[in-house]
A and B are shown apart, each in its own frame.
Chain A
């Protein structure tokens, strides 16, 4: 049961252009969404997050958009740089009843290649 789906296993973009990575989720109880970047032989590195009460969050070159009605979020990277080449994971979580931190449900990842 894939609660978080990243349907594009790979994406190739020219340096300087926009990269758009997509993610869909099925569980309407999710209220917090995160994007992680992962290089080979390293752990996931947190990039940016968004709460379900917002529809956009921006941090430098990275912007995450959330469309709750469509259960869809996307990560925009502008401008893309060769160093952005990595696997990008979308993750979702929800507040547990007692207010504690929920575990992360990850998508399968999208491998981004930024060509010089």
Chain B
């Protein structure tokens, strides 16, 4: 069964450093998403991406964040200058449909980001 994969599973970084979190969505999916979950809190939407551009972003997704689909398979989230409060689980998700209806989003296993 196809699945969303994410690397690395755990990333430790120093405050102020740049990190890139990587995701490989399910191959025939068209919509891609990043969510995060701070420990003990709810899963929060960050950004959605379709046709090589951002479709929607939350207020969390400020200028320190960017997303990219550098090739036909990878989808990345970059945090330019990490802060302590960026420590969280980051989940990538993808979904199949765009027009005319809903479809469920499939999530990857997550990357745990720890900012020291």
A interface with B by C-beta (< 8 Å): 31-32, 34, 36, 41-46, 49, 51, 89, 91, 93, 95-96, 99-109
Contact = CB atoms under 8 A, between A and B. Distances in A.
B44 interface: yes
Interface string B82-93: 000000000101
A95 B99 CA distance: 9
Nearest to A101: B31
Closest 9 CB pairs of A and B: A43-B107, A103-B45, A32-B102, A106-B43, A46-B104, A99-B99, A108-B42, A44-B107, A43-B109
Contacts of A96: 55-56
Contact of B45 (A44, A95, A104): A104
Bin the interface of chain B by size.
20 to 34
B43 A44 contact: yes
A100 B50 contact: yes
Contact of B44 (A31, A36, A46, A106): A106
Contacts of B56: 96, 100, 102-103
Contact of B4 (A32, A36, A43): A43
A94 to B, nearest CB: 9
B48 A101 contact: yes
Interface string B79-116: 00000000000010101011110111111111000000
